[in-house]
Amino acid sequence: MSKLSSEFSMKDLDPLNYFLGIAVNSTSTGLFLSQQRYASEILEKVGMSQCKSVCTPVATFGKLYANTGSPCDDPTLYRSLAGALQYLTFTRPDISYVVQQVCLDMHDSRV
C-alpha cells in the first residue's frame, strides 16, 4: 500500500464488502461472492419482488419468434433489464441460457 500511495493518489477504504453489485465475504477458506442484493434490486425495479421462483424458468422445447406479439411499451426498460441480467450471470451461470434467450430480441423486444 505504501509503495502504491507513493506513486498514486489513493486512500484505504477498509476491507471490500460490496462493490459493483457484488457482495464479498471473506472466510478462512477464501472469498465468497454473492449478487443476492443486486438480484433483489432488479426484481424490485420491475415490480416482481413478490414473484415465486421456478426451477426451469423457460420451456426448452418451445422457441420464441421475433415477429410475434406486440412491441414493448418501454424498450429501454427491457434492454436495461436484459443488461442487468447479463451482469448477474457472473455469479449465477445457471441462468445463462435464459438470459441469452432474453437478449436475442433486445433490438425488437415484444410481449
Answer positive or negative: Cα dihedral of 8, 11, 12, 16.
Answer: negative
CB 49 within 8 A of CB 41: no
List the grid coordinates of 28: 478462512
Average of per-residue pLDDT values in the chain: 83
pLDDT digits (tens, 9 = 90+) for 26-79: 889 999 899 999 999 999 998 998 988 777 666 666 665 556 777 777 788 888
Q: Which spans in 1-111 are helix H?
A: 2-7, 36-45, 75-88, 96-103
CB 88 within 8 A of CB 46: no
Enter the pTM of the model: 0.67
Cβ burial of 15 (10 Å; 0-12, 13-18, 19+) is exposed
